[in-house]
């Protein structure tokens, strides 16, 4: 079976199955190297956003570092400095900055 597959691929465009097999191989490669990792990354980001709690240090997509003061349904309130609080959308949280040192 494998020899037949290699023979069909080696023939180039002579077999009607060669282009179909080549198309299927391209789709499989795209799925495993591009689509699947992106879906995993989005799933991990969603899980991180759902697990936010008071006291967590975060970074927004705009590059603002802060500490969460209050978590609501779609909005979080972060403290960026003493008595400076910002209300941001939960979807704008990009990363957990608890491992980063604040200056």
d(CA 85, CA 77): 7
- What number of other Cβ atoms are within 10 A of residue 82's Cβ? 5
In this prediction, residue 21 carries a pLDDT of 86
In this prediction, residue 8 carries a pLDDT of 58
Q: Can you give the pTM of this predicted structure?
A: 0.63
52-96 to CATH, choices 1.10.10, 2.30.30, 1.25.40, 3.40.1350:
2.30.30
Cα separation values, 98 from 13, 55, 78, 102, Å: 56, 9, 14, 9
d(CA 61, CA 82): 22
In this prediction, residue 17 carries a pLDDT of 78
d(CA 7, CA 2): 9
- Residue 74 phi/psi, 5-degree rounding, is -120, 0
Ranges of each domain in the chain: 2-47, 52-96
Predicted confidence pLDDT, tens digits, the chain (103 residues): 556 666 655 655 566 777 788 889 889 998 999 999 999 999 999 998 898 999 999 999 999 999 999 999 899 999 999 999 999 999 999 887 765 554 4
């Amino acid at each position: 079976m494998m020899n037949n597959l290699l023979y069909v691929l080696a023939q180039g465009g002579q077999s009607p199955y060669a282009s179909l097999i080549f198309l299927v191989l391209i789709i499989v490669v795209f799925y495993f190297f591009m689509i699947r990792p992106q879906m995993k990354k989005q799933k991990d980001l969603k899980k991180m956003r759902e697990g936010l709690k008071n006291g967590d240090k975060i970074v927004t997509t705009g590059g603002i570092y802060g500490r969460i003061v209050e978590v609501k349904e779609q909005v979080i309130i972060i403290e960026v400095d003493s008595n400076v609080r910002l209300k941001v959308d939960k979807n704008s949280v990009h990363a957990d900055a608890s491992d980063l040192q604040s200056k």
